[in-house]
């Protein structure tokens, strides 16, 4: 019901937004989640569904996709509206509510919680011929299902955590695994670098430091890739079915930047209440900035709880900010 006014609209259905939706439901607020992706789960669904997460409370380890599944179940018990494949473009304040103008429709809401992460996903492109042409025909930037790489010749490009994580995850699945990186320093956890060096030493990974991709070739799909040594300009051709480009994501909040929010380096400034400079607009998760901010799922949960409880109080000043303990709440006994 696009035009039915909701108490809280959550922009972004990643782990933070899903927890915010749960919290809104628990507080008895009507709620809607809007996400530009076709599925809920944010980075966990889009980038690393098959990776284990070890630092979320309550789980010794949990697959990212399973955490999303459980969070979706937790959030949907209160029946929020879920609007997918929809990007919020413009927000206009009316008397006692906001009008959220999206690509496909307009939604009304009394308050907003922005949990848009790093913004709509825009991978940093590999600047070489063949990258655009073979996108999703052998060129990928995320691993949705490791089985899609089984028995393939895979070339990973990058030197950060994501590149190393994908190399270590796929090295036993792919037929061959090469890692191409333009220097010999890594922006990754020491433990991953150590594992990579061990894998390279026993021949599980063809490590190509000081190399860059010159061109990706193929007919309908990727078949080979030419890389070059950036010290000598010498070319090497690698058999390749899949180029996994892990150069990071362009942090771009897109249209959100034009809403009049205080934004610095693509992050929204918030106070201790997770309130932005616009009354009624709160923010949480990777999208926010404050002294001591950590980009973790666990911190996103805490920020979501603070943002939603304050949004509840904003919408109805007679409602307490402090929710009390869920163990005693009537809503779970019904
Ligand atoms: C490879 C990898 C491994 C990681 N491992 C861990 C780990 O082990 N532990 C940990 O705590 N963290 C980990 N992280 C970080 C963690 O994934 C993030 O901190 C978390 O996803 C942030 O959640 P979020 O909901 O704030 O944002 P996101 O997950 O980024 O979700 C934001 C959502 O907002 C949507 N959106 C953005 N702009 C708009 C718009 N205008 N309109 C509509 N929708 C919009 C996006 O489509 C997206 O779905 C990892 C990250 C990566 C990349």
Q: Domain check: are 24 and 107 in the same one?
A: yes
Whose CA is closest to 115, among 17, 39, 7? 17
Please tell me the predicted confidence (pLDDT) of residue 2.
53
In a domain, 126, yes or no: no
pLDDT in tens, 224-277: 999 999 999 999 999 999 999 999 877 678 888 889 999 998 899 999 999 999
Task: Give the pTM.
Answer: 0.77
| Residue 97, ligand 1, Cβ within 6 A | no
Of 219, 245, 271, the position where a domain reaches its end is: 245
What is residue 258's predicted lDDT score, i.e. its pLDDT?
Answer: 87
Tens of pLDDT along 91-101? 999 989 999 99
Compute how many other C-beta atoms are within 10 angstroms of the C-beta atom of residue 57: 7
Q: Facing residues of 235 across strands?
A: 228
Distance of CA 13 to the CA centre of its chain: 9
What is the CA(232)–ligand 1 centre distance, in A? 39
The CATH number assigned to the domain holding 261 equals: 3.50.50.60
Mean pLDDT of 181-193: 92
pLDDT higher at 73 or 251: 73
pLDDT of residue 243: 97
Determine the distance separating the centroid of ligand 1 and the alpha carbon of 300, expressed in angstroms. Answer: 9
- Please state the domain count of the chain: 2
For residue 96, CA distances in Å to 4, 68, 176, 300 come to 14, 34, 60, 28
How does pLDDT run across 14-72, given as a tens digit for each residue? 999 999 999 999 999 999 999 988 789 999 988 888 889 999 999 999 999 999 999 99
Tokens of 1: 């019901």
Say if residue 14 is in the same domain as residue 43.
Answer: yes
Tell which atom from ligand 1 comes closest to the C-alpha of 297. 11
Ligand 1 atom with the shortest distance to the CA of 300:
26
Looking at 224, 245, 266, the residue that finishes a domain is: 245
Evaluate whether residue 128 is within a structural domain: no
Same domain, 85 and 164: no
- Is residue 94 domain-shared with residue 232, that is, in the same domain? no
* pLDDT above 60 for 1: no
Same domain, 241 and 267: no
Asked if 113 and 304 touch (Cβ cutoff 8 Å), the reply is yes
pLDDT tens per residue across span 114-165? 999 988 777 889 999 999 999 999 999 888 789 999 999 999 999 998 899 9
Asked if the structure places residue 40 within a domain, the reply is yes
Evaluate: CB of 303 within 6 angstroms of ligand 1: no
pLDDT for residue 228: 98
Closest ligand 1 atom to the C-alpha of 46? 49
Whether 15 lines ligand 1, by a CB cut-off of 6 Å, is yes
Specify whether 229 is located in the same domain as 267: no
Name the residue range of residue 47's domain. 6-121+250-332
Q: What is the mean pLDDT of residues 312-324?
A: 96
Q: Do 111 and 195 have their domain in common?
A: no
Mean pLDDT computed over 192-198: 96
Task: Choose the residue to mutate in 14, 16, 86, 163 for probing ligand 1, maximizing ligand atoms within 8 Å of C-beta.
Answer: 14
Q: What is the pLDDT of residue 122?
A: 72
pLDDT at 251: 63
First to last CA, the chain: 26
Burial call 295-323: b when 16+ CB within 10 Å, e when fewer: eebebbbebbbbbbbbbbbbbeeebeeee
Same domain, residue pair 197 and 262: no
Residue 1 lies in a domain: no
From CA 131, how far away is CA 140, in angstroms rounded? Answer: 9
Do 148 and 225 share a structural domain?
A: yes
Domain assignment of residue 131, yes or no: no
Decide: 25 in ligand 1 pocket, CB within 6 A.
no
The last residue of a domain, from among 202, 218, 245 = 245
């Amino acid at each position: 019901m696009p035009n039915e006014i909701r108490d809280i609209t959550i922009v972004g259905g990643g782990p933070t937004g899903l927890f915010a939706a749960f919290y809104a439901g628990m507080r008895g607020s009507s709620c809607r989640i809007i996400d530009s992706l076709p599925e809920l789960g944010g980075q966990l669904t889009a980038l690393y569904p098959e990776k284990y997460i070890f630092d979320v409370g309550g789980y010794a380890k949990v697959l990212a996709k399973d955490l999303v599944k459980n969070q979706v179940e937790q959030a949907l018990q209160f029946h929020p509206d879920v609007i997918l494949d929809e990007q919020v473009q413009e927000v206009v304040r009316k008397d006692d509510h906001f009008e959220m103008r999206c690509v496909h429709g307009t939604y009304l809401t009394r308050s907003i919680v922005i949990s848009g992460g790093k913004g709509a996903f825009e991978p940093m492109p590999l600047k070489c011929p063949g990258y655009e042409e073979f996108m999703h025909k052998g060129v990928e930037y995320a691993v949705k299902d490791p089985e899609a790489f089984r028995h393939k010749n895979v070339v990973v490009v990058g030197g950060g955590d994501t590149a190393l994580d994908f190399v270590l995850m796929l090295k036993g699945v792919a037929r061959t695994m090469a890692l191409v990186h333009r220097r010999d320093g890594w922006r990754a956890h020491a433990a991953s670098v150590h594992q990579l060096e061990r894998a390279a030493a026993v021949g599980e990974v063809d490590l190509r430091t000081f190399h860059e991709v010159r061109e990706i070739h193929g007919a309908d799909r990727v078949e080979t890739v030419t890389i070059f040594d950036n010290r000598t300009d010498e070319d090497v051709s690698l058999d390749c079915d899949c180029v996994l480009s892990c150069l990071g994501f362009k942090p771009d909040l897109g249209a959100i930047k034009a809403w009049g929010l205080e934004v610095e380096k693509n992050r929204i400034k918030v106070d201790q209440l997770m309130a932005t400079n616009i009354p009624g607009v709160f923010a949480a998760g990777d999208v926010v900035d404050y002294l001591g901010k950590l980009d973790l799922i666990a911190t996103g949960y805490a920020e979501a709880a603070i943002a939603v409880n304050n949004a509840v109080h904003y919408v109805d000043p007679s409602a307490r900010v402090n929710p009390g303990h869920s163990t005693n709440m009537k809503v779970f006994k019904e």
